[in-house]
Amino acid sequence: MNQRVLITNDDGIDSPGIRALARAAVEQGLDVVVAAPSEEASGVSAALSAYTDDGRVAITRKDFDGIRAYGVAASPAYIVVLATLDTFGPAPDLVLSGINRGANAGRAILHSGTCGAAFTAAAYGMPALAASLDVLSPLSAERGGNALQVLDAAGDEAHHWSSAAQYVRELLPRLQELQAGFVLNLNVPDRPADEVKGLQTAVLATFGQVQMAVAEAGQDFVRTSVEENRARADEGTDLALLTDGYATLTTVRAVAELT
């Protein structure tokens, strides 16, 4: 399997998740290039946005354990488009996005920069997979405290990125069979691989793990916050299965007209 793959994310080029994903792709014999936002770009969906200086998008070469890598002052979707234009070497054959710090599950994936990169790849005719680690764990009650507090307290390096990477390796052959215009969306519990109950095909929950709330409002301003969504997901959905300790896989169509 000597295909060219672009590895990107929305957590930024320095996140441990993207390093785990890149290593997994290299181990499978893929020709890997990494290009990701210079800084975190979560929640940007498939926005084509960039920070420019006199019309130039800054690109910084990064030390990435021998893997060619770039930090780019742009959104994940913009980076995918740049990759198709041979900006980081030969255009990729497929795109892997992640491993995201936090699940991308439910219909809230619409807003995810991780999924937005995968959707953009699909629009350009490339197979794509979005991978996420559920560090905002539904099992946080076992650890004590609110899930958002647990997320804030835990260091990134302490999470089980290798568990998600293992599932990515297993799913790579499926990308070759993926119908055009679709992406694979993978979510893995933040636990050792041997404690994950297995991989289940899932449908999207009607909501995401977190929701926006108004923290403060005045005559000429509003301040928002992110709160844990405590609603119970329906059985068989990605969020319900994640709560039960399963890794989940959902095949999602990016953009399509009604036929």
CATH number of the domain to which 83 belongs: 3.40.1210.10
Report whether the peptide linkage leading into residue 99 is cis, meaning its omega lies within 30 degrees of zero: yes
φ/ψ of residue 204, rounded to 5: -75, 135
Q: What is the pLDDT of residue 11?
A: 93
The pair of three-digit structure tokens given for residue 194, joined into one six-digit string: 């041997």
Residue pair 131/174 in contact (Cβ under 8 Å)? The answer is no
Question: Domain for residue 226, yes or no?
Answer: no
* Cα–Cα distance, 18 to 35 (Å, whole number): 10
Q: What is the pLDDT of residues 132-173, one digit of tens each?
A: 999 875 444 344 444 444 444 346 778 999 999 999 999 999
Which portions of the chain are predicted below pLDDT 70? 1, 137-155, 208-212, 225-233
Question: Domain for residue 223, yes or no?
Answer: no
Count structural domains, the chain: 1
Q: What is the pLDDT of residue 208?
A: 63
* Cα–Cα distance, 128 to 172 (Å, whole number): 10
Question: Domain for residue 224, yes or no?
Answer: no
Q: What is the pLDDT of residue 206?
A: 87
Q: What is the pLDDT of residue 216?
A: 80
Q: What is the pLDDT of residue 45?
A: 86
The pair of three-digit structure tokens given for residue 229, joined into one six-digit string: 């969504």
Q: What is the pLDDT of residue 40?
A: 84
Question: Domain for residue 225, yes or no?
Answer: no
- Domain span at 63: 4-206+234-253
Q: What is the pLDDT of residues 2-21, one digit of tens each?
A: 899 999 999 999 999 999 99
Question: Domain for residue 214, yes or no?
Answer: no
Q: What is the pLDDT of residue 140?
A: 40
Contacts of 241 (CB under 8 A, 6+ apart): 200, 202, 248
Question: Domain for residue 217, yes or no?
Answer: no
Question: Domain for residue 211, yes or no?
Answer: no
Residue-averaged pLDDT of the chain: 88
What is residue 170's three-state secondary structure?
helix
Q: What is the pLDDT of residue 186?
A: 98
* Cα–Cα distance, 39 to 25 (Å, whole number): 23
Question: Domain for residue 150, yes or no?
Answer: yes
Contacts of 235 (CB under 8 A, 6+ apart): none
